[in-house]
């Protein structure tokens, strides 16, 4: 019968308290499958959204010779809701006293790839290397299990000397055999409460992915903003047969339409991507998007204004005012909030009211001159 392979065989110790371990790993490594396998729970993988575990789970393995707990965690390389999953991972590591940290790494014939996976996981708990045990999953994919295991053990000993032990298991191995190997590691380690500071969290918990996500999101946002502007410019350019008055009214309507579409796009991004990053990073990205909105709105108004009727001087002046050119907006001391700034800069209702008052004042002045 196929058995679990373990680098250093240990004699299991009887613990007064139920030992507890955390399993961490990348998406698809098999950590949730392993946890549910040992606890006789059915694992229904979400193939459409892998690595999107919403909470961390604690499982109790009590159907074997020894009883222990396993805390399953979200994938460390989650591509969606990155910040939320990072917070969950931190909570799972610090919620209970831990005996062992199992790094679940998927078998790969390129041994350096498994080493690379380990080094991507290791910074999360670098202070607690003495609790690290690597478990290689999908071992059934190895064509020469005995020899490859010895080679991998030597490779890890050279590249990752802090790893305490190494286990390899396949689907053909009995649950009790895997549980026994894991318990032997856990029972030889003292339980300890892990502490992860905010600085360590921001530095190590996959938040570097957020920076890359922010850059990609902003590039996508710029493309959509440019598309909105370009489509509306084409609409205005297509008005060849309309009268000057009609062109003027349509241009004013489209200027308002562009502002509304930019605001809606901004709101959609705010709602869809709120959970993928640290709140400070999220606010910085949203502020950058708001500035992009204001810039593109101004440029659009600059292009549209010359197309409007020169005979309607008052309305043309209104359009110039509506281009959202506000010098104070560039002063950070006067900027309370990016959205507030954009709303203040781009409020056509207020502009229209101000312009109506100006026209009324001008009419009253002419009446006074005539009656005088």
The dihedral through the CA atoms of 177, 178, 181, 183 has a sign that is negative
**pLDDT tens digit at each of 372 positions of the chain:** 467 899 999 999 888 888 999 998 888 888 888 888 787 664 443 333 444 444 557 777 765 677 898 888 877 776 556 667 778 888 888 888 999 999 999 999 989 999 999 988 888 888 898 899 999 999 999 999 999 999 999 999 999 888 999 999 988 888 888 888 999 999 999 999 999 888 787 777 655 455 666 778 888 889 999 999 999 888 877 776 667 777 788 888 888 999 999 999 988 888 877 666 667 677 778 888 888 899 988 888 888 877 665 434 444 444 444 443 323 333 334 334 444 433 443 343 444 444 444 444 444 444 344 444
Alpha carbon 30 to its chain centroid, in Å, reads 22
Alpha carbon 351 to its chain centroid, in Å, reads 39
- Rounded CA-CA distance 350/52 in Å is 45
pLDDT of residue 56: 54
Structure tokens at 20: 């507890």
Superfamily (CATH H level) for 5-204: P-loop containing nucleotide triphosphate hydrolases (3.40.50.300)
pLDDT of residue 51: 42
Terminal Cα distance for the chain, rounded: 113
Task: Say whether 59 sits in a helix, a strand or coil.
Answer: strand
Distances (CA, A) of 294 to 11, 21, 215, 270, 343: 68, 51, 19, 16, 10
Q: Token pair 């008055």 is at which residue?
A: 245
Q: What is the DSSP track for 66-128?
A: S-EEEEE---TT-SSSHHHHHHHHHHHHHSS-BSEEEEEEE--SSHHHHHHHHHHHGGGGGGG
pLDDT of residue 166: 95
Structure tokens at 7: 């680098």
pLDDT of residue 52: 42
The answer to whether residues 61 and 110 touch, using CB atoms and an 8 Å cutoff, is: no
The answer to whether residues 290 and 345 touch, using CB atoms and an 8 Å cutoff, is: no
Q: 24 forms bridges with which residues in the sheet? A: 103
Domain boundaries, the chain: 5-204, 208-355
Q: Are strands 165-168 and 5-6 parallel, antiparallel or unpaired?
A: antiparallel
pLDDT of residue 162: 86
- Rounded CA-CA distance 271/282 in Å is 11
């Amino acid at each position: 019968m196929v058995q679990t392979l373990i680098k250093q065989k240990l004699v299991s110790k009887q613990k007064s308290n139920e030992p507890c371990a955390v399993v961490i790993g990348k998406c698809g490594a098999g950590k949730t499958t392993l946890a549910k396998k040992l606890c006789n729970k059915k694992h229904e993988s979400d193939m459409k959204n892998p690595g999107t575990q919403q909470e961390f789970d604690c499982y109790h393995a009590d159907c074997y010779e020894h009883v222990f707990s396993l805390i399953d965690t979200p994938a460390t390389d989650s591509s969606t809701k990155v910040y939320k999953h990072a917070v969950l991972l931190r909570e799972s590591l610090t919620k209970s006293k831990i005996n062992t940290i199992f790094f679940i790494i998927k078998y790969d014939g390129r041994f350096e790839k498994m080493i690379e996976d380990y080094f991507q996981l290791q910074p999360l708990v670098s202070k607690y290397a003495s609790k690290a045990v690597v478990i290689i999953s999908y071992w059934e994919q190895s064509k020469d299990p005995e020899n490859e295991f010895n080679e991998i053990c030597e490779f890890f000993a050279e590249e990752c000397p802090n790893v305490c032990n190494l286990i390899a298991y396949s689907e053909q191995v009995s649950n009790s055999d895997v549980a026994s190997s894991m318990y032997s590691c856990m029972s030889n380690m003292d339980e300890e409460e892990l502490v992860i500071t905010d600085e360590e969290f921001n530095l190590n918990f996959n938040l570097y992915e957020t920076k890359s996500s922010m850059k990609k999101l902003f590039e996508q946002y710029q493309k959509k903003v440019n598309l909105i502007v370009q489509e509306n410019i084409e609409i205005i350019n297509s008005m060849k047969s309309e009268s000057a008055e009609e062109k003027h009214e349509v241009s004013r309507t489209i200027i308002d339409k562009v502002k509304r579409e930019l605001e809606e796009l901004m709101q959609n991004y705010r709602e869809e991507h709120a959970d993928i990053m640290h709140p400070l990073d999220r606010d910085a990205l949203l502020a950058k998007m708001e500035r992009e909105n204001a810039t593109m709105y101004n440029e659009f108004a600059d292009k549209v204004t010359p197309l409007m009727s020169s005979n309607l001087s008052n309305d043309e002046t209104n359009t110039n005012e509506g281009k959202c050119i506000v010098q104070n907006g560039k002063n950070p001391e006067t900027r309370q909030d990016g959205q507030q700034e954009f709303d203040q800069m781009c409020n056509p209702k207020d502009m229209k009211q101000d312009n109506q008052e100006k026209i009324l004042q001008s009419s009253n002045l002419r009446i006074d001159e005539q009656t005088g």
